Amino acid sequence: MKQLFSILILTIFHFNTNAQTQQEMNIAAQKEYKVAENEINKIYKEIVDKYKSDTLFIKNLKASERIWILFRDAEVKMKFPSKEPFVEYGSMYPLCYYGYMELLTRERIKKLSEWLSKSNQEDGCMGSKMISLNLK
């Protein structure tokens, strides 16, 4: 009888696609962050490839990215200040953590994407972007 009850419960959960556990939401948030992380890495590599002849720019890009990662990590710690976040924020901490990591990463993606765009070339304050794009 216990086995039949277990099978019944598992079947109900398997077919009930609207129900989502906290663990499933946490996993989904982590996957969404990983998508953003893959996207930012792709864009970063495209920028490095596009500007590979400009060694000073690449050096500064790498420094900027290292500092941005430090900023991102500090920003998350500031948002969720706790030595034991799972105790303080509970089981939804991973959902919140990865959601915020994704948000910050998507903001950075927008910023980095400017280096792959040819829009606003006439803006005199675009710095090395304007110079590099006008040379090509």
DSSP labels for 36-80?
HHHHHHHHHHHHHHHTTT-HHHHHHHHHHHHHHHHHHHHHHHHHS
Total-model pTM = 0.76
* CB within 8 Å of 97: residues ≥ 6 apart: 29, 76, 80, 85
Q: Is 34 helix (H, G, I), strand (E, B) or coil?
A: helix
pLDDT of residue 5: 45
Q: What confidence tens digit (pLDDT) does each residue in 100-133 have?
A: 999 999 999 999 999 998 764 556 666 665 555 5
12 class by beta-carbon count within 10 Å (0-12 exposed, 13-18 middle, 19+ buried):
exposed
Nearest to 97 by CA among 121, 111, 80: 80
Residues in the chain: 136
Domains of the chain: residue spans and CATH:
21-115 (1.20.1270.180)
Contact 105, 36 (CB under 8 A): yes
Place of tokens 């989502």: 20
Q: Is 4 helix (H, G, I), strand (E, B) or coil?
A: helix
User: CB count, 10 Å around CB of 136?
Assistant: 6
Q: What confidence tens digit (pLDDT) does each residue in 67-98 have?
A: 999 999 999 999 999 999 889 999 999 999 99
